[in-house]
Chains A and B, each alone.
Chain A
């Protein structure tokens, strides 16, 4: 069967759950992803019990904060960078 994931067609040999699709698509940090199937947001707790059907349109919607703040580069890693630069 064929589904669409993030706008691209994906062929699947067998029915898979949302959870399995996250693995197949090698989605990084799945805890940071909201999954929409057709028009519905799939609750995180239903990822394993929701199976995809032929023709489903799946979107992975990522939590996105900012380039700093949560994702602060610590000074220790900056020192590493300086080592590489010098």
Chain B
């Protein structure tokens, strides 16, 4: 695969990096990343991966753009309100970088479709940009069962967290967070809300992990949970261990099939 003059110019700031170079940029253009959720986390992740020249970007979301999304979901514009998020995101990516082939899946992930979606283009890396625990456990379990690396992230209020799973190299999400929060642990709505920039910071770190994984350079967040508290402006990198008794990636796994957990609803007073 040769580069056009336009591509040499577009990716010049990558190509001059010794960790990327022509070879690395070629890897990025040939790579395939699946982003599940095109909201606060998925929007910035998708935009930076598109700008970086990741050749195939898969987007999964069933949602429609709402006005209240625009405070943080920067891939969607005011004119996109009412559109399906995957279509709106695909249009933005097309305007950003014509090198990118965007594949859209207008659905919610569940136990019966996630394997087919990941296998559809045999994605190299998966980004969890979802906002709920059933989806987070489903993505973890599917990636463990399919031997796929993925980036987990969560954001709330002024806080964010992210970790990376690499098959056979450290803990999975379930090693740490064994099961979804108990159904009786219903949060109250005082916990609601998120500062718009949080998805930008954490989603961009997720994109960074995907890029580094594809390039095979640097150290990833496998075996660590990175937490960010924007109020104290504090990052912490917490070391985590693989759990030998993990129900899905431990020595004697008991979870061999995907599970559809029930969503815990917010209690309003």
Residues of B within 8 A of A64 (CB): 153-156, 159-161
Chain B count of residues within 8 A CB distance of the other chain: 48
Stretch at the interface among B6-14, B84-92, B188-196: B188-196
Task: Write the nearest CB–CB distance from A7 to chain B, whole angstroms.
Answer: 6
Residues of B within 8 A of A76 (CB): 268
Count chain B CB atoms within 10 A of each CB in A41, A74, A76 and give the residue with the most. Answer: A41
**Which residue of B41, B181, B225 is within 8 Å of A32 (Cβ)?**
B181
A31 touches B181 (CB 8 A): yes
Q: In the complex, what distance in Å separates the CA atom of A32 from the CA atom of B157?
A: 15
Given contacts A31-B185, A66-B39, A77-B189, contact A71 B243 (CB under 8 A): no
Q: Which residues of B line the A interface, CB within 8 A?
A: 37, 39-41, 68-69, 72, 130-133, 136, 153-157, 159-161, 175-178, 181-182, 184-185, 187, 189, 191-194, 198-199, 225, 236, 238-241, 243, 263-266, 268
- Jot down 8 A-B pairs with beta carbons below 8 A, ordered by A: A32-B181, A41-B176, A65-B130, A67-B40, A67-B72, A67-B131, A70-B133, A71-B193
Q: Which residues of A line the B interface, CB within 8 A?
A: 6-7, 29, 31-32, 34, 36, 39-41, 43, 59, 61-74, 76-77
